[in-house]
Amino acid sequence: MAGTNDIVIKIATVNGTGSASANGLLRKAIFRMGVPVVGKNYFPSNIQGLPTWYEIRVTKDGYQSRSDRVDIMVAMNVQTYSQDMAEVAPGGWLIYDSTWPRGRQLDREDITVIGVPLSRLCNERFDGVRTRILMKNIAYVGVIAALTNIDLDVIKGLLEETFAEKQHLIAANMEAIHIGYDYAVENFTGPPPPKVEKMDATGRHIVIDGNTASALGCVYAGATVGAWYPITPSTSLMDAFRSFCAQYRVDPATGKRTYAIIQAEDELAAIGMVLGASWMGARSFTPTSGPGISLMSEFIGYGYYAEIPAVIFNVQRTGPSTGMPTRTQQSDILSCAYASHGDTKHVLLFPADPHECFTMAPQAFDLADRLQTPIMVLSDLDIGMNDWMVPEFEWDEDYVHDRGKVLSAEDLEEMDAFYRYLDVDGDGIPYRTLPGTHPKGSYFTRGSGHTKYGAYTESATDYQEVIDRLDVKWETARKLVPEPEITYSKFNNAAILTVGSGNGACREALDRLGEQNVGLNYCRVKAFPFSESVREFIDKHEVVYVVEQNRDAQLRALLILDFNVQPDKLVSLLHYNGIPMNAGFVVEKVLEEMSRGRAA
């Protein structure tokens, strides 16, 4: 049930009508009032003309996942009106543009329907078709503000920040706000919706999307080269990196750029450029999505076998093939873990929110250099493109990049000979050199069969020795990757295990299940290969519900492959329709499995 500072507002509009600015204004105003809020955008993959929705969850408890109810629906799209009305929870409210008549069949007795003639009011006050459309969107912000008690002074302050040098736009937007606000105050007589009341729960927090956070993390990690081919939903990551580099990657003395950003002709070329730059010693990366990983696979395998650092950000979307480019999934787990032909295994990092996108970016570059291999950071569209409230980013000023085993000219001068693929320390990681360091450091980089000394070979023994040494390095990686987040509420024989953006829904589900006296322990894996603590967690339970957002239980399969876990201990709860998972789904599925006896 909705309550004070516990409201879900969903806005249904048409893509390309400028509603994003209005929706963002509403979300920011709630955040500025000190109330935790999260925004989820459901938009089509075309430029304009198709339905789009934006969901604002006002949540005093600070939950980050999508809600499983809608309290207030703003139905601005005639094409989806019936669908939108059906989504409103019993006892909820629906706001629509009453400029045009509405059929009686579009009524529900268990909700409050509020008609506001937004188009007529804006047509009377504003000139120009485009202006009227934009101001109609701003006007519904006023309606919501009136009904839920959102502070108009806060809204005005945001407009003044946005249009500081365009005073006429501030006045026009405030006029539109008051059109909706005043009409609602003067005409609404039904049961009032829950209110938004000021809190002090957003201090030292920011609202940011994962792609922007990842880009900033790349800057702090020391990345200077980015190559990519545009693809939804990862393009904004490189856009943000370019913007940050324009601020922080320019030599103040000469004005010259100290970075390179290259739009390649395709994804295969992009990862090739990244590997080339990394081979030269630059920290380089590429952002992409599932189809890009498919195209990059040959070069990813080359990076694995030739042992070249690289960082790949995969902002996952639905598949297969083109799929639904603007919907979210976690369906690339297996394709990334074993990308390319032959025996390959790749280190994966799984951020749960934009804060971890920022912190895991430097970790990815450090691991890539230390392990001399491509590292993939798997977020998804929900994390990458939606608005999350997260703690402010902090940075350790004493942090030093871990470049791994790179020999200097002095090191090479003291050596009798350098062998590129020789395991000197027993951890599976050889020493490497950067081009031009010293004549002794030269070697032939090859993706064909090679010996531990770097020479070409077709010897079965020499080939297998290198492949086996790569497996030793894999076990070293297991000790270096981030540890999972594990919570034991009490002694429970059952648990939930998830990955990435599943964290928000699962955390909230644990609270809801606890209210029903269903106690479950919790594990969120942050990386592959899985650390031994993941195996120990699974071993302690009779049943582990593996919650993930794909059809084929890819996380469960990876756990079985990596740990040889008893399969019937891992029970899959799968959500894969492209919409971000909510806690209600997890609760329902856990209770269903318990009713079948799949819990201690």
Is the Cβ–Cβ distance between 433 and 443 less than 8 Å? yes
| Spatial separation of the C-alpha atoms in residues 149 and 4, rounded to whole Å | 10
Compute the C-alpha angle 43/44/45, nearest 5°: 125
- What pLDDT is recorded for position 43? 92
User: Tokens 């004005």 label which residue?
Assistant: 255
pLDDT of residue 130 exceeding 60, the answer is yes
> What is the reported pLDDT for 197?
98
Nearest Cα to 10, choosing from 19, 588, 104, 385? Answer: 19
Q: Which amino acid does the sequence have at 567?
A: P
Half-sphere exposure of 18 (CA within 13 A, CB side): 13
Contacts of 460 (CB under 8 A, 6+ apart): none
Distances (CA, A) of 475 to 311, 361, 429, 479, 547: 20, 22, 11, 7, 26
Q: Cα–Cα–Cα angle for 291, 502, 54, nearest 5°? A: 75
Which whole number is the average pLDDT over 247-252? Answer: 95
Asked if residue 172 lies in contact with residue 125, where contact means CB atoms within 8 angstroms, the answer is no
Pairing between strand 374-380 and 310-316?
parallel
**Alpha carbons 212 and 183: distance in angstroms, whole number:** 38
User: What's the pLDDT score for residue 105?
Assistant: 64
Beta bridge partners of 58: 7, 37
Residues in the chain, how many? 600
The total of other beta-carbon atoms located within 10 Å of residue 574's CB is 18
pLDDT at 106: 75
Sheet holding 6-14, edge to edge: 37-42, 51-59, 6-14, 70-75, 88-97, 112-116
| Buried-exposed string 295-329: b where 16+ CB fall within 10 A, e elsewhere | bbbebbbbbbbbbbbbbbbbbbbbbeeebbbbbbb
Predicted local distance difference test score (pLDDT) of residue 490: 81
Tell me whether the omega of the peptide bond preceding residue 233 falls within 30 degrees of 0, making it cis.
yes
In this structure, are residues 383 and 353 in contact, taking their beta carbons and an 8 Å threshold?
yes
Q: How confident is the model at residue 491 (pLDDT cuts 50, 70, 90)?
A: confident
Provide Rg for the chain, Cα atoms. 27
pTM of the entire structure? Answer: 0.96
Cα distance between residue 312 and residue 264, in whole Å: 15
Alpha helices in 19-88 (DSSP H): 19-32, 81-87
Q: Residue 260 burial (CB < 10 Å; 0-12/13-18/19+)?
A: middle
Identify the sign of the CA torsion 415, 420, 423, 425: positive
- In this predicted model, what pLDDT tens digit does every residue of 568-589 receive, in sequence order? 999 999 999 999 999 999 999 9
Going through 384-450 in order, the beta strands assigned E by DSSP cover: 388-391
Which pLDDT value is given to residue 599?
A: 64
The torsion angle over the Cα atoms of residues 330, 334, 340 and 344, rounded to 10 degrees, is: 130
Give the other-Cβ count within 10 Å of 413's Cβ. 12
| Cβ–Cβ < 8 Å for 194, 2 | yes
- Identify the CA nearest to 493 among candidates 541, 549, 530: 541
Ordered domains of the chain (ranges, CATH): 6-187 (3.40.920.10), 208-391 (3.40.50.970), 409-480 (no CATH), 485-595 (3.40.50.920)
pLDDT in tens, 64-94: 999 999 999 999 999 999 999 999 999 999 9
Which residue spans within 257-317 are E strands per DSSP?
260-263, 284-288, 310-316
For residue range 209-240, list pLDDT tens digits in order: 999 999 999 999 999 999 999 999 999 999 99
Mean pLDDT of 385-396: 97
For 269-309, write each residue's pLDDT tens digit: 999 999 999 999 999 999 999 999 999 999 999 999 999 99
Q: Which 3 state secondary structure label does DSSP give 106?
A: helix
Tell whether omega for the bond before 529 is within 30 degrees of 0, i.e. cis: yes
pLDDT average, residue stretch 510-536:
97
